Amino acid sequence: MGCLTLVVILIGLFLGLWLDTRFDTRPLFIIIMMVASIPVTLFLMFRVVMKVAPKLQELTTGKTEKTIQETDVAE
């Protein structure tokens, strides 16, 4: 997640720098791209969490059920 955030921010930074040098508007596009990177990062984090959460829940539930079955057998 941290790497994803860093990548989005760096893309926004370099895109803003490139646009500023291209149109000679030094801080304008950097600020716009940095502000725009916030919702993009939040959206991407949400998508990653929604994709990974079921797998984590399945792993956790599977281990819990296995532990319960081992406890029942031991008794």
Domain that includes residue 12, residue range? 2-74
CA distances to 4, 48, 59 from 53, rounded to whole Å, are 17, 8, 10
In this prediction, residue 21 carries a pLDDT of: 96
Question: What one-character-per-residue DSSP string does the chain give?
Answer: -HHHHHHHHHHHHHHHHHHHHHHT-HHHHHHHHHHHHHHHHHHHHHHHHHHHHHHHHHHHHHHHHHHHHHHHHH-
pLDDT at 69 over 70: no
- Number of domains making up the chain: 1
Q: What is the pLDDT of residue 72?
A: 61
Provide the whole-model pTM: 0.74
pLDDT in tens, 11-55: 999 999 999 999 999 999 999 999 999 999 999 999 999 999 998
Reported as a pLDDT band with limits 50, 70 and 90, residue 62 is confident
